[in-house]
Amino acid sequence: MVMRQGSNICMTQDKYSLLVLRLEDITEDVMEHSWNVPEELFECDDNPLPVGGTTNLHGKIYKLGVNVHFRGEVKTLLRLKCSRCLKQHKSLVESPVEVSFLPIDSINPGTEELQLGADDLDAQLYKEDEVDLFPAVRDQLWLAAPIKPLCSKGCRGLCPECGANLNDENCGCKNVVTDPRFAVLNKLINKDKKQE
């Protein structure tokens, strides 16, 4: 399997070249492979996925006629902000990745719109002699990232009165409301007050 690596990945002609595979290297026999994707590869995006370490991709790839199929798993650490206490932390995110690549010239030029069936939601078109696993990997990680990240299951959040991080200290305020959403709000309000 061909892997190209450059020190300045975003500056290379194809910024995602590490996960670009040449068709001639893919066989009809299933091949198993692992990739260690450096975090810089994700920084090339306009809205970069906040990866905090090497991303591991592992999977099986094979050709079936002109189509290429990949099925595997991706695992990475994401830098996230706790939705209760706002602390930055790293969280392990894992997701299956499944993608099929169809040659762009297999689409009938007479049809204006690409007609993919419901089973082909994870299908991508490829041009010439290369398929690129990166977009599928990145999209799956975005989908797998928690909407409300937590630094730990038992995170106690912020004090809604004074904004203290209740994981670190017991501020002693009364009327502690347990809804962490208000705590975040109060922290912002208190911050504004301090700045005035």
Of 124, 55, 132, 126, the closest CA to residue 95 belongs to 55
Q: CB neighbours of 90 closer than 8 A, spacing ≥ 6?
A: 52, 53, 77, 78, 79, 80
Shortest Å, Cβ 52 to Zn ion: 16
Alpha-carbon distance of 97 to 120, in angstroms, equals 14
Site for Zn ion in 83-122 (CB under 5 A): 84-85
Binding of Zn ion by 187 (CB under 5 A):
no
Query: Count of residues binding Zn ion (CB under 5 A)?
Result: 11
* Distance from C-alpha of 90 to C-alpha of 108, rounded to nearest angstrom: 46
x/- letters, 157..176, toward Zn ion (CB under 5 A) = --x-xx-x------x-x---
Give the interface segment with Zn ion, choosing from 62-70, 77-85, 128-136, 140-148 (CB under 5 A): 77-85
Question: Binder to Zn ion among 26, 57, 74, 151 (CB under 5 A)?
Answer: 151
For the CB of residue 156, give the shortest distance to Zn ion in the complex, in Å: 8
Minimum Å gap between C-beta 163 and Zn ion is 7
Residue 21 binds Zn ion, judged by CB under 5 A: no
Is residue 131 near Zn ion by the rule CB under 5 A? no
Contact between 45 and Zn ion by CB under 5 A: the answer reads: no
Sequence-distant (≥ 6) Cβ neighbours of residue 36 within 8 angstroms: 54, 55, 56
Min dist. Cβ of residue 143 to Zn ion (A): 23
* 124 vs 190, beta carbon nearer Zn ion: 190
Distances (CA, A) of 167 to 30, 117, 151, 157, 190: 49, 50, 10, 7, 19
Pair 101, 67: CB distance under 8 Å: yes
Q: Reduced to 3 states, what is the DSSP secondary structure of residue 190? A: helix
Among 9, 19, 41, 82, binds Zn ion (CB under 5 A): 82
Positions in the binding site for Zn ion (CB under 5 A): 82, 84-85, 151, 155, 159, 161-162, 164, 171, 173
